[in-house]
Chains A and B, each alone.
Chain A
Amino acid sequence: MLSVSNLSVTIAGMTVVDGVSFDLAPGECLAIVGESASGKTMTANALLGLSPGRVRADELVVAGHDVRAFSDRRWRTLRGNEIALVSQDALVSLDPLRRVGREVAEAIEVHEGGLSRGEVGERVIHALESVAMPDAAARAQQYPHELSGGLRQRALIASALAAAPQVLIADEPTTALDVTVQAHILDLLAELKQRGLGVLLISHDLAVVSRLADRVAVMKDGRFVETGPTSDVLANPQHEYTRALLAAVPVPKKTSPTRGEVVMSATGLTRLYGSRVAVDDVTLEVRHGQTLGIVGESGSGKSTLARLLLGLERPDAGAVILGGEEWSALSERDRRSRRQRIQLVDQNPFGAFDPRWSVERIIGEAVALGEKSTRGRILELLHQVGLGEQHLRRKPRELSGGQRQRVAIARALARRPEILICDEPVSALDLTIQAQVLALLTQLQQDLGLAMVFISHDLAVIAAVSDEILVMRNGVVVERGPARRVLVEPEHPFTKSLVNLI
């Protein structure tokens, strides 16, 4: 169905795909794994004739057609009909101004023009039912934003398969979804594969790949560095980049049995927004030299909890005690003098910095709040996070994602805090960079005796850094305990489902 030999794509003089070869047979899933800028999406675009650059290949066969010299008009007969695309995030991949049913019907209308409206409608319902969409007739009348994330993604898949293509390109199909929903979508794709669909899976997530793919190709800088059956490649990586990728997958932390003293505690914290309960009666303790990991999906209340602990918001009930003293009940003015003790590393360092300030100024501002700001102190902080003098003058947009996050950490450390709150600090980073930042945080904790509160939706990441774990769902703590126990013997069903996915 798909035969590719020596495919190259060049854009603006840069070669983004360099001599890539692979085949795909019906009922099979080939995964292309790589980090950002590896060229995986460019490869997919070339298979659809939608590449913005120049495409050359010794062989490029899609569904039995040699497409190398295809005009756009001929490509249009293939797209949707023989080969289809499912992208990340149905919220933006489906037209938000059109009903779901119309989107699903589109491929049918384009390729099978003679059908009546009634016939098209039937085909739409059939397509939705084949992706296990509950209440298909009603859903077809709704708009994408009215469906939940998982249902939306099913609708997107249905719209891609409506005209019965042989090959489906799935480009990060589950990345925008909550973890539990991801599993269902992957099961759906596996079932479709069983029915004879050929799936080209593009992903950065090794867990997703291991669940779905029969064969895997590891891509870096436009080239395949390693290919083979999934179980082989993941168990016995040959190429050093593959090894680095696998090594970057977070492994649970080695926790020590001793527990430090309590530096911050919260009891019965509750926060409401109107009638919506964001945080419901949460109690926790943070200890010196140890990390409390808080894991939950979007909307579980973890970010609100972070803001409450930082004193950026006031709880409607309950209290936070910092170092034995009142914290949440203080006025802002009183709090400000004590802010030094607890600092924040945010998910979005780009938004956390004034884009017009240099790194030196960003860190200097933080230092100056507590002591005289000297170049020496700023450099000391930069070195602590693995950066150097050459970064002083740079602006945030001139730094990579990992470097920005390091600056954020340096800024947080500037005031010599006792407690560090990290709110999704590595979610936006590539796997290898993520591993580096997590290693840095663990090292800093050891060196400085920091107490950390680490918040994430990714249980694997939480497992890599936490001594104790708190699991949140809909504002409530559903499970808590030492990291080892929670990961090995989870009690709550929600925790169990999260653990199953690692």
Chain B
Amino acid sequence: MSLLELRRIARTRKPPAIEVVVASTFLVALLAAALVPTLFTQLDPLDAQISDSLQGPSAEHWFGTDQSGRDVFARVVYGARYSLLVGFGASAIALVVGLVIGLVSGLSPKPVDAVIGRLIVIGMAFPEFLLALLVIAIIGAGEGSLVIAIALAAIPAYARVARSQTLVVRSSSYVRSATALGVPRFANIVRHVIPNTLGPLLVMATIGVGTAVVTAAGLSFLGLGPDAPTPEWGVILSEGRNLLDRAPWVAVFPGLIVTLTVICTSVVGRALQGRRNA
């Protein structure tokens, strides 16, 4: 037995690491904030009290207040709804569409697969953020556009994984052996491909939710998402930009939450992948 095998045996069947637990807790909390905001704050995110404006973080206003006197923490909590909606929506759409495209391409005759493969490669060449930006140039700005644009930009990545998995299974030893056994080829491939492909795709989608949230925040920051005074995270950050000298907390804290969201989805995603490989 090699040293590698010794180590691997020692590592299986361990409980999840502490960071995975923490990350999952944060994500669950985020989900709760999106569904039931009142769990986290009693304040109204749109409630403007000019007298309270530009106050730093305090016991009453955990993240401080913005230029209109609105509680920043409440705005972040209510903003979770928009961000998670975009994140999940875009990832789900991209996963399904990408899976179908990849499967079809991998099962098609070689010339067809070659063409679709090329298209996927070209699609992947462009950075997601830019692709989304260009899609918005075409369909116009707005909240719905964000979901569509981000989904379209993410599809090539999923399609590439689905296609390569399909091709791997298609030419694998076990499909070859099964063919020698007498199992019908096509149905056999699909039976092996889908379970083997869904795994990696779901891992991608978990991390993809985080990426989508950041992309959405970036696009909103540039003014391409929902309009003010919607408490969407990117909108809050763009407001914060003008207050950097007077009230930096308006920009710092919401951005921190966005960062934490991405970190936690990454950690959970990688833990899932580790479980699958073990």
Contact status B181-A12, CB under 8 Å: no
27 contacts between A and B (CB under 8 A): A11-B3, A14-B6, A36-B2, A37-B1, A310-B180, A312-B176, A332-B185, A336-B184, A339-B182, A343-B180, A343-B181, A344-B177, A344-B180, A346-B173, A351-B172, A352-B174, A352-B176, A352-B177, A353-B177, A354-B174, A354-B196, A356-B195, A356-B196, A366-B181, A369-B181, A411-B181, A415-B181
Closest CB in chain A relative to B142 CB, distance in Å: 43
Return B32 CB to nearest CB of chain A, in Å: 34
A36–B195 CA distance with the chains assembled, in angstroms:
34
A365 at the A/B interface (Cβ < 8 Å)? yes
For A, the interface residue count at a CB cutoff of 8 angstroms equals 28
Give the Cβ gap from A471 to chain B, nearest Cβ, in Å: 25
Q: Closest Cβ of chain B: how far from A417's Cβ, in Å?
A: 10
Contact with A along B172-202 (1 / 0, CB 8 A): 1110111111111100000010011000000
Q: How many residues of B contact A (CB 8 A)?
A: 22
Cα(A352)–Cα(B177), bound, Å: 6
Q: Which residue of B lies closest to A341 (CB)?
A: B182
Known contacts A36-B1, A353-B174, A312 near B181 by CB under 8 Å = no
Q: Tell me the minimal C-beta distance from A26 to chain B in angstroms.
A: 32
Note all chain B residues with C-beta closer than 8 A to A344.
Answer: 177, 180
**Cβ B6 vs Cβ A11 within 8 A:** yes
> Which of A11, A37, A415 lies in contact with B182, CB distance below 8 A?
A415
The total number of A-B Cβ pairs within 8 Å is: 56
Q: A365 to B183, alpha carbons, bound, how many Å?
A: 9
B10 at interface, CB cutoff 8 A: yes
* A365-B178 contact in complex given A352-B173, A356-B195, C-beta closer than 8 Å: yes
Question: Does the CB pair A336–B174 fall under 8 Å?
Answer: no
Q: From B188, which residue of chain A is reached at the shortest CB distance?
A: A365
Known: A356-B196, A365-B183. A346 touches B177 (CB 8 A): yes
A4-18 with Cβ < 8 A to chain B: 11-12, 14
Q: List the A side residues contacting B192 at CB < 8 Å.
A: 354
B contact residues vs A (CB 8 Å cutoff): 1-3, 6-7, 10, 172-174, 176-185, 192, 195-196
Residue numbers in B under 8 Å from A370 (CB-CB)? 182
**Nearest Cβ in chain B — how far from A52, in angstroms?**
6
Is residue A348 contacting chain B, with contact meaning CB distance below 8 A?
yes
Nearest chain B CB to A430's CB is how many angstroms away? 11
- CB-defined contacts of A352 to chain B, threshold 8 Å: 173-174, 176-177
Contacts of A346 in B (CB 8 A): 173, 177
Q: Are B182 and A369 in contact (CB under 8 A)?
A: yes
Closest chain B CB from A7 CB (angstroms): 18
Which residues of chain A have C-beta atoms less than 8 A from B185's C-beta? 332
Among residues of B, the one whose C-beta sits closest to the C-beta of A344 is B180
Decide if A340 is an interface residue (CB 8 Å cutoff).
yes
In the complex formed, the residue of A with least CB distance to B191 is: A354
User: B183, B192, B196: which has the most chain A beta carbons within 10 Å?
Assistant: B183
Q: Which residues of B contact A310 (CB under 8 A)?
A: 180
Q: Which residues of A contact B196 (CB under 8 A)?
A: 354, 356
With A and B bound together, what is the CA distance between A244 and B180 in angstroms? 36
Contacts of B6 in A (CB 8 A): 11-12, 14
Q: Which residue of B3, B6, B7 has the most chain A CB atoms within 10 A of its CB atom?
A: B3
Nearest A residue to B276 via CB reads A356
Closest-CB distance, B188 to chain A (whole angstroms): 9
**A336 to B184 Cα, complex, angstroms:** 8
A352 to B183, CA, bound (A): 14
Output the least CB separation between A43 and chain B (Å).
14
Cα of A354 to Cα of B179 in the assembled complex, Å? 13
Please give me the residue from chain B that is nearest to A411 by CB atom. Answer: B181
* Cα distance A340–B174 in the bound complex, in angstroms: 17
Q: Are B180 and A339 in contact (CB under 8 A)?
A: yes
Residues of A within 8 A of B1 (CB): 36-37
Q: For the complex formed, measure the closest distance between the CB of B246 and the CB atoms of chain A, giving whole angstroms.
A: 56
Residues of B within 8 A of A411 (CB): 177, 181
In the complex, given contacts A353-B177, A369-B183, what are 18 additional A-B residue pairs having Cβ atoms less than 8 angstroms apart? A11-B3, A11-B6, A12-B7, A36-B1, A36-B2, A37-B2, A52-B3, A312-B180, A336-B184, A340-B182, A351-B174, A353-B174, A354-B192, A356-B195, A365-B183, A366-B181, A369-B182, A415-B182
